[in-house]
Structure 1
Amino acid sequence: MALSSHVSLPPPTVFGGDEYEFWAVKMEAYLKAYNLWSAVEKGYEPLAESGNLTVAQIKQLKEESRRNYKALSFLHSAVAATIFQRIVGASTEKEAWDTLQEEFQGSDRVRAIKLLNFRRECELLKMKDGNAIKDYVSKLIETINQMRIVGEKIPDQKIIEKVLISLPERFDSKVAAIEESKDLAKLIVNELIRSLQAHEQRICKRVESSTEGAFQARFKGKQPSSSREVKKQSGYDKNIKTKGGVNETEGEK
């Protein structure tokens, strides 16, 4: 939904030549907030001047022209001076946008190659046994967002499926429980991650308790089994005799 006429957003983020993909996502959202994204998607072509234009056509022409130049003005204000030089000659928002996209994101062929590489990386990505679920999911989401930026449409259900099939063996019981009790078509990513993290924490606590129990058992096994052994180890057993039959303590006396 576009903003009302009396509400305005802060100025858009200025693009200086780095991280074009992230800036493009922000700029697209900014233009959509003002209902101007169609100027990029559909472009703007002025109708030829003609005395045969109806009042409705003239009104439409003026509205499309206004929207185009408003969007172009936003784009001008969202790039640094060095970048503005690339689009200074563009008369439409779409022309300026396509110019920046071609230079900083590459042609359709280049974007297709990037997408192929990201797909391969995503397919090979699996959680290793020593990794934390948070770290693995962060890496997966980062790769998927890169794919989305270059045009791939990836629903959240695909992310959920990818996570469930790429977890190590210690999550098998949890995955089975989720598949049996949840509707994967309605499950959201954050809910899945919270559930897996809770399972991971339980595993960690179980391992810690087991390790602590084993340590205590081993330590207990080394303890003296009787008070006599305690006295022997501490040197206070008065019944210990020397070769001469005299208690060492008594001999000292």
Structure 2
Amino acid sequence: MLIFLEACNLDILEVVIDGPFVPTIAGTGDSSIPKPRSDWVSNCKTAKEMWDTLQQMHEGTTDVKRARINTLMHEYELFNMKKKESVNDMQTRFTHIVNNLNALGKVIDNEQQISKVMR
């Protein structure tokens, strides 16, 4: 999201983070801000509100992050290959869990991952 905003305009990230700025809908003269596609931001009045809402929805509060990490760690710990599951599907599922943990700041090193899959 940060890269996208910087690519739109060098100053737009500053405006979004610092606010207040009332964006216009794409197609009404200002094409640098895309039309919102989600109900999450449809009630927001400023770019700052949109940014905060999107950040909250995708990252959540500290408690939400902690709960997500706990849930994903539980999935990781109980991970095993399901019956009639291909190796590719198993690897995709495992990678999804590990990537989500990494995104939340819980890094599992490669040695542990390999060990887990081999078990």
TM-score by length of 2: 0.58
Q: Between Structure 1 and Structure 2, whose CA radius of gyration is higher?
A: 1
Residue in structure 2 matching 1:152, options 93, 105, 112: 105
Aligned residues of 1:122 and 1:143 also touching (Cα < 8 A): yes
1:74 matches 2:33: yes
Offset at 1:86?
2.2
**Structure 1 residue 96 and structure 2 residue 50: aligned?**
yes
Q: Would the aligned equivalents of 2:17 and 2:51 in 1 still touch at CA under 8 Å? A: no
Using the alignment, how far apart are the partners of 1:36 and 1:145 within structure 2? 31
Corresponding residue to 2:14 among 39, 46, 51: 39
Q: Percent identity?
A: 22
Cα deviation, 1:152-208, whole Å, max 9, x if unaligned, reads: 2647xx2x323320214xxxxxxxxxxxxxxxxxxxxxxxxxxxxxxxxxxxxxxxx
Matched, 1:118 2:76: no
Runs of at least 5 residues in structure 1 that lack an aligned partner in the other structure: 1-26, 47-64, 169-253
| Structure 2 counterpart of 1:43, one-letter code | I
Higher RCO structure, 1 or 2 (CA under 8 Å, sep 6+): 2
Q: Distance in 1 between matches of 2:62 and 2:50?
A: 17
Q: How many residues align?
A: 110
Distance 2:82 2:112 in 1: 14
Q: Is the 8 A contact 2:6 2:12 kept in 1?
A: yes
Unaligned runs of 5+ in 2: 25-31
Instruction: Please report how far the alpha carbon of residue 118 of structure 1 lies from its aligned counterpart in structure 2 after TM superposition.
Output: 0.9
Question: Are residues 1:162 and 2:112 paired?
Answer: yes
Deviation at 1:139, TM superposition (A): 0.8
Report deviation, 1:141. 1.0
Question: Cα distance 1:33–1:45, how it changes in 2: closer, same or farther (>3 A)?
Answer: closer
Backbone CA RMSD of aligned residues: 4.0
